[in-house]
Structure 1
């Protein structure tokens, strides 16, 4: 008799997605560890790599116990550790921190779609690990002066309530309409979006100058322009409110044109970041009460979706998009 219930479709799907993401992260960490010139950063990434390998092994074991084929994910063929540095000045930990930010959301969502206790515990463990390394990376970057804190504001002295609909002002179609100052919730989302896009911009610039395939290089160049546009739009929002624009002094791409990663891996990484960006902009829309901010975020989501869709076509064309486990086509079986 089976000691455990058979895993459900949602559990199979969340494990598959996690395997794809973690094997990609492991390959990228291997390169960054090899090229690290700061011992503390190297230790952080080495420890993270070791802990993530354990969880990848747990996923493999569950697949084997269920008689399911092990996904391919990303292997040693997708990384070349012997090429020159593609990124410098603290980018490795900036990138890891952003990955942990993405992973925190994914693991929390995955927990809501799993039922078996061992799989629950797997995602609980990944959540705790991710939160820990996000904190470690944040403190490292602050110590190195490579992370810009969000703006400070005066502390509130009384509780206020919205008095009329003008609070929602800032109509996107009328640039001359009066806009109230941003509230702290809105500031946090705008600041986070600028910060994430700045890191994403450097990542994709490195991809663009090192990718092998010409179409892939063009795709990354288009992504860089998209990130620049979002940064410019949101920075203008801060300027209009007399707030400082977050600009990190670190994390730049070098002049190297030799790819440390396969085009397949870089395309998947970009796709993952697009999904994260759409989710973040959706949250920004949900928690922004100024109409112009909601309108901007809606446009960003549309543009990012279209960009990600064009990337998916490139991946399919080149045979790089691994299919998630499928349900049986019962209609076909009936014919």
Structure 2
């Protein structure tokens, strides 16, 4: 049997470890800054716990990558943040930030786990999943205790098991239309909550950058998130379903720079990447033509904006290259 120490990382394992390192490293700087800005002691304790988890995960990622001889992402430094600047977000926003972050983190590590085959990498991702579940539990419980957790609606139980009898169940444009089913609602609400977070972050970042070019990028991101939000808002309203609250009121009027432009653009690029992934995942459960069209349209619009962000990162020389296949063809 081949020695375990001689088993190289697969491309899938490497991709998730390297990308995860970049995400972890950046998130630590945001978490530390938000910890300093949080006013509620229980929320500060949550950030402290999140920082502890992120640092532990980063150390192990570094060990796994370095042992294989892969250079680590350069990441960010203290010069990319200004922890003494006035806060631009409130405590209620911070809870939403941690909630969405723990959800996205769980999804990332679950995918990473099932694409891994080496024992040490598998055990690492299992540990990551356990940690992020603990964080999510603590965030949800605190939000429930403070009365700020937004629950998706309950539905009346049918009197008997039902079958679909008409092809019009798939319709959504003309003729017989139907309300959203529970799976469509579940994924739609996740997307709406992420759009609310993105819109709020874009406004906060736009008002604190000193660059007109970068501010314009954030405002475009805000407009896209807002447009997507209102499209889904209309679908929920048509079925008399409740809408998650916006967080735009959880912004202060501070215009003092908190994060570097590079750090903010990288975060926005990551958020839009997550948004596209959520749309893609939701498509798999859609059984309504109008919702299918809506998601497909929004994936396209989000993808175009994500490409603009990537081009800006390349132009500014802010984007680090993910390890990939070797070019073997002659130039």
- Taking structure 2 as the reference length, what is the TM-score of the superposition? 0.94
Equivalent residue runs for 1:211-290 within 5 Å: 211-247=209-245, 252-290=250-288
Cα offset, 1:2, TM superposition? 7.7
Contact 1:216 1:314 in 2 (8 A): no
Contact 1:107 1:126 in 2 (8 A): yes
Contact 2:198 2:225 in 1 (8 A): yes
**Aligned partner (choices 50, 53, 57) of residue 51 of structure 1:** 53
Does the C-alpha gap of structure 1 residues 224 and 313 become closer, same or farther in structure 2, counting only changes over 3 Å? same
Unaligned 5+ segments in structure 1 are none
Residue equivalent to 1:21: 23
Give secondary structure in 1 for the equivalent of 2:74. Answer: coil
Residue equivalent to 2:204: 206
My pick for the range that moved more, 16-25 or 6-15, is 6-15
**C-alpha separation between the residues in 2 aligned to 1:37 and 1:225?**
30
**Aligned partner (choices 291, 294, 314) of residue 293 of structure 1:** 291
Residue equivalent to 2:72: 70
Equivalent residue runs for 1:78-227 within 5 Å: 78-171=80-173, 174=174, 177-227=175-225
My pick for the range that moved more, 223-232 or 206-215, is 206-215
Q: Deviations 1:62-83 (Å, cap 9, x if unpaired)?
A: 2322222222123323221110
My pick for the range that moved more, 25-34 or 94-103, is 94-103
1:304 corresponds to 2:302: yes
Contact 2:200 2:248 in 1 (8 A): no
Does the C-alpha gap of structure 1 residues 55 and 251 become closer, same or farther in structure 2, counting only changes over 3 Å? farther
**Aligned partner (choices 21, 37, 40) of residue 35 of structure 1:** 37
Give secondary structure in 2 for the equivalent of 1:156. Answer: coil
**C-alpha separation between the residues in 1 aligned to 2:138 and 2:248?**
17
Contact 2:206 2:218 in 1 (8 A): yes
Q: Deviations 1:88-117 (Å, cap 9, x if unpaired)?
A: 142112111111111111111111222211
**C-alpha separation between the residues in 2 aligned to 1:326 and 1:249?**
39
**C-alpha separation between the residues in 2 aligned to 1:89 and 1:33?**
10
Cα offset, 1:169, TM superposition? 1.6
Cα offset, 1:249, TM superposition? 6.6
**C-alpha separation between the residues in 1 aligned to 2:177 and 2:282?**
17
**C-alpha separation between the residues in 2 aligned to 1:274 and 1:318?**
19
Contact 1:92 1:251 in 2 (8 A): no
**C-alpha separation between the residues in 1 aligned to 2:112 and 2:148?**
31
Q: Deviations 1:98-157 (Å, cap 9, x if unpaired)?
A: 111111111111112222111111111111111221121122222222221111221222
**C-alpha separation between the residues in 1 aligned to 2:165 and 2:264?**
49
Unaligned 5+ segments in structure 2 are none
**C-alpha separation between the residues in 1 aligned to 2:291 and 2:172?**
8
My pick for the range that moved more, 241-250 or 64-73, is 241-250
Cα offset, 1:33, TM superposition? 0.7
Q: Deviations 1:177-213 (Å, cap 9, x if unpaired)?
A: 4421221112222222222211221111111111232
Does the C-alpha gap of structure 1 residues 143 and 2 become closer, same or farther in structure 2, counting only changes over 3 Å? closer
Give secondary structure in 2 for the equivalent of 1:157. Answer: coil
Does the C-alpha gap of structure 1 residues 12 and 249 become closer, same or farther in structure 2, counting only changes over 3 Å? closer
**C-alpha separation between the residues in 2 aligned to 1:126 and 1:296?**
34
**C-alpha separation between the residues in 2 aligned to 1:90 and 1:103?**
20
